[in-house]
Structure 1
């Protein structure tokens, strides 16, 4: 499928669906702070901004909420997207399911397929995202095969329904620790910036930067400092994450979508 058709004098409506990845954690706006309920920017907001640079008006909604599983995205976000009937839909779903023990990527992919079939009824251009290659992350490396299986399904679904694909697996610059926030699960502001540029490339939007740009050289880290970082991460992220899994809680409990309606950008 070719890129997204743009009318520079026209109006584009865009709806983003997903979890924390699409909500924008951990890329806060300068005036929001890094509080749990702060407003995040993220690659989807940045993509909407790029769209606004190229057309007369962009109306943008972001329904994504952190921590959501694919069934929750289908139940809570897809009906609203169908109701809004936008020109462009981006959806990244299933990641929180895949990282949980015992989940079946074939089953998750079938849910995703039915979701894309439904969203296709809107006539919107749909952009889907593959999972990241976690081979560079020691804690997440064991999920690599499971993610690869899911990715193969996603590509087949994209082919079936004519979706555009942002291939995160092949984005080698995101395999640098500086592309990730302190929790090692969400992108850093620079990671989100690069991903937005990649999404623009897939859509055929002109940009003035390259997501492939090499990272600047970095001084070697002392092993003691690296060990302290590992301990801090385990204490501040891993232990609370395990606690939420054991008690059935989610980081998205009580969190509302940051842009529930199609609103003019700028």
Structure 2
């Protein structure tokens, strides 16, 4: 039986100078090894929910557990070293080579050089980049899609069992985005880690997620497999999302 990797227990978040709940009494359990996508429009609470897992944002109420540990009782720096984090603005260090970028945290943790070198080589292969060609390049010499792959490799460098991905493909062109989605599914299948992936794109959410959290006005409207959500939308908001996606499909069908 799978372990519970992440558990949200009655989690709420209210920001200063606002009476509205950015996250409104969320109760969810995510199993180890799942690929969970969090879908919602701007302001729905999806990124707030994600960032509370690594304590970049602290909940106003409730409890979040990571493999049974209350994260409020874990030092934030120690917690973040247990969690990979990938964002849309990759944030590679421009003065460092690709190899040095990937090795940043292991070197801070004083890993042996041999172990670091082996890890960097392995991760470049994992994200589909030849170490011979990319190890000594600099970020400015890479495309946006290649930089995002390096960001993913860097997040995997300490072998975390949980990965948080905050709209990592949002600034990537459509063709590259589709390729990166396929690569991410391949990587997830190979590493068996728990992925939480924020997106506002319903097609991306349903393609990647073994289960999907649909957020609206701070609430988790529905949390289920893509197939079940399409077959049994929980409310009018979820139904409207599905309808809008189907209308897009009909538009493309009409161009044939």
Q: TM-score, normalised by structure 1?
A: 0.33
Q: TM-score, normalised by structure 2?
A: 0.34
Q: Which has the larger radius of gyration?
A: 2
